[in-house]
Structure 1
Amino acid sequence: MTTLPRNSHIHRTVLDNGIVVLLTENPTADIIAGRIFIRSGSCHEPSEKSGLAHLLSALLTKGCDGLSSMEIAEQVESVGASLGTDASADYFLVSLKTVTADFANMLALAGRIMRSPTFPELEVELERRLALQDIRSQKEQPFSIAFEQLRLAMYKDHPYSQSGLGDEKTMASLTRDDLVKYHQTYFRPDNLVISIAGRIKSSDAIALIQEVFGDWQAPINQPIPGLTVSEIDTAPHAISTFQQTQQSIIMLGYLAPAVDSPDYAALKLLSTYLGNGLSSRLFVELREKRGLAYEVSAFYPTRLLTASFIVYMGTAPENTRIALDGLKNEVDLLSSAPLCDDTIQAAKNKILGQYALGKQTNAQIAQIYGWYETLGLGIDFDIRFQEMISAVNAEQIYAAACRHLLTPYVSIVGQEEAVRKAIKSGNSKQ
């Protein structure tokens, strides 16, 4: 067992079959939460199989060797536990939470569905139809349309260009054989991180995991397929969809660095300053002072590969042009002069306070440490992230803005006349 010195309350162990186990002992509540990460997500799908990881996440609990979907549900619900799955761009996730006395049984059930899913044909067909309904539903939602076209404009052939749901063509073409192949390729012990937090000793957790997963061996002479990533060769431009909506959705996107970049902390802080909460710059300036925004925000997701820095707002159709100008102007101000120290400190306090609040429950603790390990950052990133935020200064923030937040990709959804005027105005100012 190896323990990182700055996180002495977290035990990190690598089992003989390659599974990384993280254990955070927290005896304050009689609850244990587990997060089982597979280091493969939707970005590992071939483009023609887009939506495959999502479909697999919907089906993993719908049957396994010896248990039907209903029997799995009954085992979980009979003890008031939770067991779920999810797929993101960078990883696949199995989540469980239960009282301490039932943890061994729930872990065994999770191991069973992970190692021997049956993917019943009737369940495959049902979940595929439900996914297709979700895809069609998103086509009616202005925010989803704006985000989809922005992502495609920015990433093009890059794995991050794909929607987690895929599209109607790819989802309709997925088969049970595709699910089996994806599962056999990526669900293997040397591709797993198991993070547990709760009222359990490290030695007991290791013993339980050994019992459930210890005999699982990786295929011999079959390395985990690497991720093929094409260069992003797109240039910022505007893209629009005309729709008779009650509001225009405006999004600005900037290609931004991955989590391992020296600019990561500065951009995280800028995202918080611009669009996080009722005191954020965008909310105060564009909604409170100018009355332009129904909603307005910014986000910069943590990504293993090239990420995106996005600001967006919803506005009345007649305000589309001035709202676009106002949104872009607020971002442009970041590269016109450094922020003052008081503004930076306020943003630091907000992001660090929210970060601390995001680690209150066992589920949150298991999630964050497992996530960092899965991304290759190590559990020590928990402390390093806070140190990076605390240390970043005005010059570094200004330099990051000048490097990454200059010319945006623009995505607008709204009524045709309003959108055309906004784009024309924007083009004339470039």
Structure 2
Amino acid sequence: MATRATSKKKAVVTKKAAPTTGALTLPTLHESTTSSGLKVLAAERGPLPLVAARLVIRAGSATDPADKHGLADFTARLLRRGTAKMSADEIDETIEFVGASFSVGSSEDVLSLFVTTPAEHFPAMMSMLGQLVREPSFPEREVELARERALAGFSNDLDDPAVIADRAFTRALWGKHPYGHDIGGSAAHVRTFTRDDLVRFHRERVGPRVSLLTVVGAVSPQQVVDEAEKAFAGWEGGPEAPVQLPSADKVTTGRILLVDKPDQTQTQVRIGGPGFRVGHPDYFPSTTMNNALGGGFTSRLVNEVRVERGLTYGIHSYFDMMNAGGVFGISTFTQTDRTREMLDVTLGEVAKVRQEGITAAELKKAQRYLAGLYPLRTETNESVAAVISDIRVHGLGDDWVEKFRERLMAVKQKQTVEVATKYLFAQPPLIVLLGRASEVKKQLKGLGTVKVVPASDYE
């Protein structure tokens, strides 16, 4: 194990260039590292006396053990249920007493802990956050209760066709890649979780050298340095560097999976193919192109599928980007007897954009819409903390916010044709359908081999 620094390091100011007129800017960032190796970013921001903190740990569901899918998310949710010094009830009371809030989020790549607090209680809440990640106790009873709730949730999911369709799509799309299972795992795996599993995961995957603390609000950078050192001094465990995932530039294509749920009167439809990783150079042309195709309320898919034909109440296309790769997908639903029509119309619209790109008028409309929407991501301390964390964790560059609209508005029509050609199902996509198989399968003639599986496979 590498030798760790034992002295506290002072904050280092990251200089920022003077913004251009009307440009979005982030507060000046002050960087430091605690004696335990935790990197800290502080951004002083007023005028409200509030502080938001986000602790990102590079230990998402992609780091789940092969036979314990869902363990990362399960462990994160149990962090709040007791520490070496406090019970779950005492933790809740302490947070609520000062008017703070605490939440946990999970993704394929990271676990995130969020804290929002009045500025005067920042030291207490930073101490609390340190306790939660340094010395969780994972009480046996809390583990049992959480496991029971999770298993009940899986059973309830069988009554939600959209959830089951998403689950089937994820598994079919990614296969055996670490991205190929739900963040929350499956009933078969969660049923096996023990307290020892959580302790082991926390010891092996959760640690200061794979974490980043971002603090934004009415607190001085030096106070952030001081309180972070107090809260996280002595934090041990976890790897020296984030787990390196295998490349995910290839996903399953050219298959049709039909999930049989005989009680359904509608068919859930998921269509997908290869996309790109977060931070990829194709992000800006792809985002504008997709807004016109199916990412906006006035997009081509919405107009053709919903408005003109009444095939659905909702349809959208999207790029889902992770650290090791990504997906281009389409999600919708329709009446059982119109499943084939939905597929034909949707894939037809995608083919038009793949062959021709979007029009100059569509491009300008998408650019104006997205450029106007982006400032909302920097309105609150919480959103600023989230943006700063994402920039650093995913290597987007510290000028990401400042140059976002400039890069967006620089997209040319030719570029939308290039990315459409690349990502809009140049090869037959993966198609996942959930519905009444006896009625849906006979509509799929000519599309390829259809594999039928019961919905119960996805509990």
**Cα 1:255/1:411, change in 2 over 3 Å:** same
Matched with 1:97 is 116
Q: 1:276 aligns with which of 295, 298, 306?
A: 295
**Aligned residues of 2:57 and 2:212 also touching (Cα < 8 A):** yes
Question: 4+ runs of 1 displaced by more than 6 Å?
Answer: none
Cα distance, 1:228 vs structure 2: 4.1
Matched with 1:416 is 437
Determine the C-alpha separation between the residues in 1 that align with 2:357 and 2:299.
Answer: 17
Cα distance, 1:149 vs structure 2: 1.7
Q: 1:288 aligns with which of 307, 325, 343?
A: 307
Q: 1:337 aligns with which of 342, 356, 370?
A: 356
Determine the C-alpha separation between the residues in 1 that align with 2:197 and 2:399.
Answer: 37
Letter in 1 for 2:260: F
Q: 1:242 aligns with which of 232, 257, 260?
A: 260
**Cα 1:204/1:159, change in 2 over 3 Å:** same
For 1:131-151, what per-residue CA distance to the aligned partner results, in whole angstroms no more than 9, with x for missing partners? Answer: 112222223221122222222
CA RMSD of aligned residues (A): 2.0
Matched with 2:31 is 13
Letter in 2 for 1:166: G
For 1:224-269, what per-residue CA distance to the aligned partner results, in whole angstroms no more than 9, with x for missing partners? Answer: 4633426646332111112221321111111111023222222222
Unaligned runs of 5+ in 1: none
For 1:47-92, what per-residue CA distance to the aligned partner results, in whole angstroms no more than 9, with x for missing partners? Answer: 2110101111221100001100000000011122101212211101
- Where do residues 67-82 of structure 1 align in structure 2 (5 Å cutoff)? 67-82=86-101
Letter in 2 for 1:172: R
For 1:305-357, what per-residue CA distance to the aligned partner results, in whole angstroms no more than 9, with x for missing partners? Answer: 11111112111122111111111112111111131211111111222222211
**Aligned residues of 1:324 and 1:422 also touching (Cα < 8 A):** no
Determine the C-alpha separation between the residues in 1 that align with 2:353 and 2:41.
Answer: 39
Unaligned runs of 5+ in 2: 1-11, 18-24, 450-459
**Aligned residues of 2:59 and 2:242 also touching (Cα < 8 A):** no
Q: Which moved more, 1:374-383 or 1:101-110?
A: 374-383
Q: 2:161 aligns with which of 139, 142, 151?
A: 142
Determine the C-alpha separation between the residues in 1 that align with 2:145 and 2:85.
Answer: 21
1:60 equivalenced with 2:79 (yes/no): yes
Q: Which moved more, 1:152-161 or 1:385-394?
A: 385-394
Determine the C-alpha separation between the residues in 2 that align with 1:392 and 1:121.
Answer: 55
1:381 equivalenced with 2:391 (yes/no): no
1:159 equivalenced with 2:170 (yes/no): no
Determine the C-alpha separation between the residues in 1 that align with 2:44 and 2:32.
Answer: 17
Matched with 2:4 is none
Cα distance, 1:422 vs structure 2: 3.5
**Aligned residues of 2:129 and 2:231 also touching (Cα < 8 A):** no
Letter in 2 for 1:424: K
Give the % identical residues: 27
- Where do residues 160-239 of structure 1 align in structure 2 (5 Å cutoff)? 160-216=179-235, 223-224=240-241, 226-229=243-246, 232=250, 234-239=252-257
Determine the C-alpha separation between the residues in 2 that align with 1:45 and 1:108.
Answer: 28
Cα distance, 1:384 vs structure 2: 4.4
**Aligned residues of 1:37 and 1:371 also touching (Cα < 8 A):** no
Q: Which moved more, 1:67-76 or 1:100-109?
A: 100-109
Matched with 2:457 is none
Cα distance, 1:125 vs structure 2: 0.8
**Aligned residues of 1:256 and 1:309 also touching (Cα < 8 A):** yes
Matched with 2:57 is 38
Cα distance, 1:8 vs structure 2: 6.7
For 1:370-420, what per-residue CA distance to the aligned partner results, in whole angstroms no more than 9, with x for missing partners? Answer: 122122334333334434322222111111111121231111111224421
Determine the C-alpha separation between the residues in 2 that align with 1:403 and 1:358.
Answer: 29
Q: Which moved more, 1:237-246 or 1:111-120?
A: 237-246
SS in 2 for 1:204: helix
Letter in 1 for 2:16: P
Determine the C-alpha separation between the residues in 2 that align with 1:238 and 1:28.
Answer: 54
Q: 1:132 aligns with which of 134, 151, 162?
A: 151
**Aligned residues of 1:4 and 1:380 also touching (Cα < 8 A):** no
Determine the C-alpha separation between the residues in 2 that align with 1:130 and 1:146.
Answer: 21
SS in 2 for 1:383: coil
Matched with 1:113 is 132
TM-score by structure 1 length? 0.93
Letter in 1 for 2:160: Q
Q: 2:282 aligns with which of 258, 263, 268?
A: 263
**Aligned residues of 1:12 and 1:20 also touching (Cα < 8 A):** no
Query: May I ask how many residue pairs the two structures share in their alignment?
Result: 426
1:347 equivalenced with 2:369 (yes/no): no
Determine the C-alpha separation between the residues in 2 that align with 1:364 and 1:423.
Answer: 44
Determine the C-alpha separation between the residues in 1 that align with 2:397 and 2:13.
Answer: 12
**Aligned residues of 1:257 and 1:306 also touching (Cα < 8 A):** yes
**Aligned residues of 1:295 and 1:315 also touching (Cα < 8 A):** no
Matched with 2:339 is 320
**Aligned residues of 1:320 and 1:418 also touching (Cα < 8 A):** no
SS in 2 for 1:426: coil
Matched with 1:86 is 105
